[in-house]
Structure 1
Amino acid sequence: MTRQEKGQLIEELTEKLSNTGYFYVADASGLSVAETNAFRAFCYEKGVEYKVVKNSFIQKALEKQEADFSGMFDSLKGFSGILFSPEVGNAPAKVLKEFRKKHDLNKPLLKAAAIDTDVFVGEEHLTYLSELKSKNELIGDVIALLQSPAKNVVSALQSGGNKISGLVKALEERAQ
């Protein structure tokens, strides 16, 4: 690979990282070719892009970002692949967990993750990251909370209306 090709690859990766709010660095070393292909296919099915990139290229691309991702630099050793999720921050974490469970493996391992500008380093964060709610899920929760009091009022009025009409009917029958 020529210096120009390397520079172009770093620029492409820099742009991809700038345009993607969520990315994870994972270690898939030790997987067989068939398992690696299955992992790539699984990522594709779930809408997550997976690329294997040299650690030095990842670090150079991270250094060019506005946000400070220096906390990830120590995890850029050995085999590294990047998982990109354009819209959902927990999608790569869910992909890692589901793939492991489905194939009864303990790989790929989470090395580091970036959610917006927050950095999470280490495998111990995988469960936490997989349980994060997406933006749409949070909006849905807020709407449900806002609708809850209104639903209670409407339901109370509707049930009260039935009671009142029942009382009026009973009084009318007594009067006759």
Structure 2
Amino acid sequence: MTREEKSIAIGDLTAQLAGANIVYLADISGLNADTTSNLRRACFKAGIKLEVVKNTLLAKAMEASDKEFGELPSTLKGNTSIMIADIANAPAKIIKEFRKKGEKPVLKGAFINDEIYIGDNLLESLASLKSKEEVIGEIIGLLQSPAQRIISALLNNAETKGEAAE
């Protein structure tokens, strides 16, 4: 790879990082072609961009980025794949699903909305994160619940008064 090609690759990675709030780093080395293909397919269906990257180029892109990746560059050893998503728990769920059949992919770390997570031991926690839509749905449900109780009580009260008048 020439210097110019490296520079272009770093620029592309920097642009991808700038536009992403959810970035997972994983080791998918050792997966056979069929499993790798299935992983790529699962990522595509979930709206996750999966790309195998060179550690040095990704480290330089992280350094050039406006975002603070903390200790994440220290995980760039061995083979690294970057997973960029819109839903915080989607990559973790896919990794967890594939781990039912083998030891890989291994989570190296994640950058989620300016928070840094390092280590495969956090996979369960990341998979259980709620998406923005799930949190909004819960809040709406909580807000509707008291209003529904009041309306129900008022209707019951009106019905009992109506029966008493007869």
Corresponding residue for residue 10 of structure 2: 10
Cα distance per residue 1:69-114 (max 9 Å; x no partner): 13012211001000000x211111111112333xx22210100000
Report how far residue 5 of structure 1 moved: 0.8
Aligned pair count reads: 166
Instruction: Give the gaps of 5 or more residues in structure 1.
Output: 170-176
| Cα RMSD, aligned residues only | 1.2
Identity %: 40
Report how far residue 45 of structure 1 moved: 1.2
Max Rg structure: 1
Matched, 1:116 2:138: no
For the Cα contact (< 8 Å) 1:114–1:120, is it kept in 2?
yes
With the length of structure 2 as denominator, give the TM-score of the two structures. Answer: 0.95
Runs of 4+ with >3 A deviation:
none
For the Cα contact (< 8 Å) 1:55–1:76, is it kept in 2?
yes
With the length of structure 1 as denominator, give the TM-score of the two structures. Answer: 0.90
CA separation in 1, counterparts of 2:70 and 2:97?
29
Report how far residue 64 of structure 1 moved: 1.1
Corresponding residue for residue 90 of structure 2: 91
CA separation in 2, counterparts of 1:151 and 1:99?
42
Indicate the SS of the match to 2:34. helix
Report how far residue 67 of structure 1 moved: 2.5
Indicate the SS of the match to 2:47. coil
In the alignment, which of 148, 151, 156 is matched to residue 153 of structure 2?
156
Indicate the SS of the match to 1:119. strand
CA separation in 1, counterparts of 2:108 and 2:123?
9
